[in-house]
């Protein structure tokens, strides 16, 4: 027969104090942010009207939507290819089992940590301020983000694979590049491809969101329709983006399944 576990008296008190602290923090946050729940409830009456307007589609916009969507996808793919090349070599220089110099390894890991800590929109704003609006600025911003993410992911993958082979190659005097390619890259390939598949999806979603900053792509077209309160146009663009992201998600899932099967 299972015995009942009796918790100490102070155990329940901690729960009560924790709940009180959480409620107090919530009330303070609402007061500090000056949230007006009354106005929110009042505006709920307009939701039905807005939804009704968005139930219509503007199919005449479809050529423009597809053209801008193609721009967003191509920006994501080009930035991904550049990011993969840069990240591979940076990760090889930073991985503990491959790094030819510990100081260089520490510097790369620190720089990548800084890149990852800064929000993507901040990097885009910095790039746009430097090179101006347009596809070039968007591409550079996406490359920075891709390098920050993939370098960390590739480095961790390298450190988890090929330890025995690396030691064997070093014992026979193999060059560093041979150790990277033959000792680690082969064993790490499934993991690398998994991270790449994940980054494709992230880059496309981020590329679409750049429209808020005035950068070309389907996000920019969506932002223009929002400013015009063109509800049918907004609905059409959102529907196309939704279908696109479902297709991308399906493709990435299939790629991951194929990778793991091998």
Q: How far is residue 68's CA from residue 185's CA, in Å, rounded to a whole number?
A: 36
Buried b (16+ CB within 10 A) or exposed e, 34-56: eeeeeeeeeeeeeeeeeeeebee
Predicted confidence at residue 233, as pLDDT, reads 87
262 residues of the chain, pLDDT tens digit each: 455 555 555 557 788 888 889 999 988 888 888 877 777 777 777 777 777 777 778 888 899 989 988 988 898 899 999 999 999 989 888 888 777 788 888 898 888 888 888 877 787 778 777 777 777 878 888 888 899 899 999 988 888 876 666 777 777 776 777 777 777 777 777 788 888 888 888 888 888 887 767 677 788 888 888 888 888 888 899 899 999 889 888 888 887 777 666 5
Question: CB neighbours (10 Å) of residue 171?
Answer: 8
Predicted confidence at residue 1, as pLDDT, reads 46
Predicted confidence at residue 7, as pLDDT, reads 52
Angstrom CA distances, 118 to 10, 13, 64, 206, 247, stand at 42, 40, 33, 15, 29
Predicted confidence at residue 137, as pLDDT, reads 78
Predicted confidence at residue 11, as pLDDT, reads 59
Element (H, E) at 257: helix 231-261
Q: At what angle do helices 231-261 and 62-94 cross, to 10 degrees?
A: 40
Domains identified in the chain and CATH numbers: 59-261 (1.10.3720.10)
- Residue 44 corresponds to which tokens in the numbers above? 């709920």
Predicted confidence at residue 259, as pLDDT, reads 66
Asked whether 72 and 78 are in contact (CB, 8 A), the reply is: no
What is the distance between the terminal CA atoms of the chain, rounded to a whole angstrom? 48
Asked whether 244 and 69 are in contact (CB, 8 A), the reply is: yes
Residue with tokens 């479902």: 246
């Amino acid at each position: 027969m299972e015995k009942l576990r009796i918790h100490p008296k102070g155990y329940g008190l901690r729960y009560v104090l924790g709940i009180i602290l959480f409620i107090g923090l919530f009330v303070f946050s609402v007061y500090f942010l000056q949230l007006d729940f009354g106005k929110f409830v009042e505006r709920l009456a307009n939701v039905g009207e807005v939804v009704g307007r968005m139930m219509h589609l503007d199919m005449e916009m479809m050529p423009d939507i597809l053209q801008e969507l193609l721009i967003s996808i191509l920006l994501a793919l080009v930035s991904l290819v550049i990011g993969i090349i840069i990240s591979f070599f940076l990760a090889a220089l930073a991985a503990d089992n491959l790094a030819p110099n510990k100081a260089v390894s520490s510097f790369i890991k620190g720089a990548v940590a800084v890149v990852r800590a800064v929000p993507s929109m901040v990097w885009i704003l910095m790039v746009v301020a430097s090179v101006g609006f347009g596809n070039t600025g968007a591409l550079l911003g996406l490359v920075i983000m891709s390098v920050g993410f993939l370098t960390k992911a590739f480095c961790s993958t390298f450190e988890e694979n090929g330890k025995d082979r690396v030691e064997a190659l070093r014992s026979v005097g193999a060059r560093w590049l041979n150790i990277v390619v033959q000792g680690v890259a082969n064993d790490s390939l499934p993991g690398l491809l998994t991270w790449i598949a994940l980054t494709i999806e992230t880059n496309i979603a981020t590329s679409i969101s750049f429209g808020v900053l005035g950068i070309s792509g389907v996000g920019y077209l969506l932002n223009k329709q929002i400013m015009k309160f063109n509800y049918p146009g907004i609905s059409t663009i959102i529907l196309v983006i939704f279908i696109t992201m479902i297709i991308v998600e399906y493709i990435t899932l299939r790629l991951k399944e194929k990778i793991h099967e091998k």
